[in-house]
Amino acid sequence: MPSNTTPGLSPDHYVAPLDETPLKAVDAVDETEKPRSSWNDAWDAMKTRPLFWISAVLILFVIVVALFPQLFTSTSPTSGASLPDSNGPAESGHPMGFTLQGLDVYARVVYGTRASLTVGLLATVLVTLVGIVIGSLAGYYGGWLDALVSRLGDIFFAIPTVLGAIVLMSVLPSRTPLTVALVLSLFAWPQIARIMRGSVLGAKSSDYVMASAALGVSRFRILVRHVIPNAITPVIVVATVSLGTFIVAEATLSFLGIGLPGTVMSWGNDINAARASLRVAPMPLIWPAAALSVTVLSFLMMGDVVRDALDPKARARR
């Protein structure tokens, strides 16, 4: 009986002709395509969620209002007061009515966006930078530095951020957006530092870190080039949520009269000024409070989307 086997092989093996097995076409790899990173995967996860686009549009709108308030109103928020219009209702050209002093509520809400958003952004940037630096050094080098940072963080953790800011702001001679941001950062950095420390502890034992050390790369260079970029993800999530928290903290301090001075337009100051006539004219308080709530909600929604996108376990659950 004729054999269908290839010479030199056992009868149990059969080798197909090469023209019938286009392995090159099946197993080819496009070497020109750039490797995907976790940030690419996060973007793919975020852009498919309506919540991301809603929060992004709201945040962009708030930023534009803070940078260019004159595009949204031509009415002065500090001049042109008319006592007959005190706590007056909405009318043509004044869609939100008037304050107790007869000032346009809409103009004050628009111009008050800048101070409130500035404090939130400055405090978030300061807390994030300080937390990343301190947490990275403590987690990577360990030893006495880690023990010192941990005990110092425990001390500040025992002091509520708003309470500590109230005490410190009450004795400071100057109250500017930068001053308020610095005070809030002073009491809020331990959270970011502790999160960054834990993330660095997990990243420094990775294979790529040990490979870099074996190649003779300095420890500081490994920390900056490899550990921090791979450990910063949870910090970004917390920072996004914290921005809204700092805006609320500024409004709280201004409402209590120890935040921004009354000469600075902010939502907290306007809420404080309108509370005296809340029963007879609630709208001058409701409008800045609504602007504050929408802004904070937009950052919280963005933080929720970013957390789900950067967390592989959350993406798997979805």
For the chain, domains (ranges, CATH) are 100-317 (1.10.3720.10)
Neighbours of 300 (CB within 10 A): 16
Q: What angle do CA 93, 99, 102 make, to 5 degrees?
A: 70
3-state SS, residue 94: strand
Mean pLDDT value of segment 174-196: 91
At 262 the pLDDT is: 81
At 9 the pLDDT is: 47
Rounded to a whole number of angstroms, the distance between the first and last alpha carbons of the chain is 60
Q: How far apart are CA 192 and CA 207, in angstroms?
A: 25
**pLDDT by residue (tens digit) across 47-63?**
888 899 999 999 999 99
At 31 the pLDDT is: 57
Residue 199: which residues within 8 A CB-CB, separation 6 or more? Answer: 135, 139, 231, 232, 233, 234, 235
pLDDT at 316 over 60: no
Residue 316, sorted as left (phi over 0), alpha (psi -120 to 50) or beta, turns out to be: alpha
CA distances from 225 to 127, 217, 218, 239 (A): 21, 10, 10, 21
At 56 the pLDDT is: 93
**pLDDT by residue (tens digit) across 103-134?**
889 999 999 999 989 999 999 999 999 999 99
Q: How far apart are CA 154 and CA 190, in angstroms?
A: 8
* Phi–psi pair at 15, nearest 5 degrees: -110, 120
Confidence label for 214 from pLDDT (cuts 50, 70 and 90) = confident
Q: What is the DSSP string of 252-299?
A: HHHHTTSSS-TTS--HHHHHHHHGGGTTT--HHHHHHHHHHHHHHHHH
